[in-house]
Amino acid sequence: MDEILAQRISLLTESSTLKMAKMSRELVAKGLDIINLSLGEPDFDTPDHIKKAAIEAINNNFTHYSPVSGFLDLRQAVADKLQRENGLSYSSSQVIVSTGAKQSIINVMLSILEAGDEVIIPSPFWVSYPEMVKMSEARSVFVFAGIDQDFKITPQQLEAAITPKTKAFVYSNPNNPTGSFYSHEELKGLAEVFARHPKVHIISDEIYEHINYTGGHATLASFPEIADRVIVINGVSKAYAMTGWRIGYAAGPQNIINACEKIQGQVTSGTCSISQKAAYAALSSDMTATRTMAAEFLARRDFIVQKLKSVPGVISNIPQGAFYVFPEISHYFGKQYNGELIENAEYLSLFLLKEGRISTVSGAGFGAPNHIRISFAASRENIQKAIDRMAEALQKLQ
């Protein structure tokens, strides 16, 4: 009966991260001891003061429809946060709250893209960017930067990729899946290119802003010459361990935010009222819990990078943000165990799941087929066990 489905469904690729997480859960349900390092989710609980705000919202009957663009106090809290932490000036009307940063991104793409448009995506990239471009009927143009470039494109590469059809550029900083981070100086070089191409809009995904090991954030929205073409995407899921609350936001030019509101009004309307009150508490209160989480992620980063150095054939950079390492593992392609040939990173991830009982994600879905993504949003004990299992499994390949 697949012939009844719309063509756009056949064009979409299943999220590789969600696929591996699903397989891991199925094996755990069968009683197997699987260490899941596939999902990008903090292993911390939402801080108590945020949960308390949600409980108070329920008791105060904030249980009705919310405004499509979000409660005014939350949108103002977002605008205040952007001014306070990033030096960016937005009014509350230039902010829209959505059901996760993922919805914020697709809202923007549907608002500005149409058939024939091109979207430049630095590669490696978050798995959903190209699929969202497909849903918007535009075309992705990938610009690859390998581990030798710390996975960061140069202004020269960006300039070469821009054509008269280029409508947008989408990237994450810090990056998922690599953990690489563009500094202010590096972004300045990209901003100078964008300044020469006034029709290109920039979707700046900053969801990992506070999981940053460099001492400071950087955003393309801070450059005055292009600021009116930048849409900042962020949310509360990573910084405040609020993945399940599903709150993201976009801030940008008024006409684009208005268009996002129009789309959202026909798709989900306003997001969960209780989650919004929790998000307000997160954005308006002390960030001690966030800093504590970030410090632990830094310790785990140092721990896993050191552990990976002892695994032959695995080459890793040192991530400057997020909670992933993205090692190059092509050394094992063409090797086999018990007649099972490792043809590519997907085969290797499946091999590690089967033989090593650890869940990772193939880099193919991120635009880097010689890599795998490993999340260190797990305890140091589990990280140590996982890398030990990985090393033991890889030794079997001949």
pLDDT at position 88 is 98
- The reported pLDDT for the residue numbered 121 is 98
Could you read off the pLDDT of 250-296 as tens digits, one per residue?
Answer: 999 999 999 999 999 999 999 999 999 999 999 999 999 999 999 99
2-45+289-394 to CATH, choices 3.30.800.10, 3.90.1150.10, 2.60.40.10, 3.30.565.10: 3.90.1150.10
In this prediction the pTM is: 0.95
The percentage of residues in the chain with a pLDDT greater than 90, rounded to a whole number, is 90
Specify the pLDDT at position 78.
Answer: 98
- DSSP letter at 310? T
Lowest mean pLDDT among 37-46, 127-136, 203-212: 37-46
């504590």: which residue's tokens? Answer: 292
Residue 1 pLDDT > 70: no
Please give the mean pLDDT across all residues of the chain.
96
Report whether 342 contacts 393 (CB < 8 A): no
What are the strands, taking DSSP E only, across the chain?
Answer: 35-36, 95-98, 118-123, 139-144, 166-172, 201-205, 230-235, 248-251, 324-325, 336-337, 340-341, 358-359, 361-362, 372-375
Taking CB atoms within 8 Å and a gap of at least 24, the contacts of 223-226 are 223/187, 223/188, 223/191, 223/195, 225/191, 225/195, 226/191, 226/194, 226/195, 226/202
Give the C-alpha separation, 217 to 184, whole Å: 8
Token representation of residue 51:
């949960």
Look at residue 290 in the predicted model and tell me its pLDDT.
Answer: 97
What is the distance between the alpha carbons of residues 211 and 241, in angstroms, rounded to a whole number? 11
pLDDT tens readout for residues 195-252 = 999 999 999 999 999 999 999 999 999 999 999 999 999 999 999 999 999 999 999 9
**Integer CA distances (angstroms), 123 to 38, 41, 63, 143, 165, in order:** 19, 22, 42, 6, 19
d(C-alpha 95, C-alpha 221), whole Å: 14
Query: Cα separation of 79 and 56, whole Å?
Result: 24
pLDDT of 22 > 90? The answer is no
| pLDDT given for residue 4 in this prediction | 87
Mean of pLDDT values over 92-97: 98
16 has a pLDDT exceeding 80: no
Q: What is the CATH number of domain 48-284?
A: 3.40.640.10
Q: Using pLDDT thresholds of 50, 70 and 90, give the confidence band for residue 117.
A: very high
Q: Are 370 and 347 in contact (CB under 8 A)?
A: no
Domain ranges of the chain: 2-45+289-394, 48-284
> What are 336-373's pLDDT values in tens digits?
999 999 999 999 999 999 999 999 999 999 999 999 99
Q: Which helix (H) or strand (E) holds 388?
A: helix 380-394
For residue 300, is pLDDT > 90? yes
Check whether 10 has a pLDDT greater than 90: no
Instruction: Calculate mean pLDDT across residues 128-132.
Output: 97
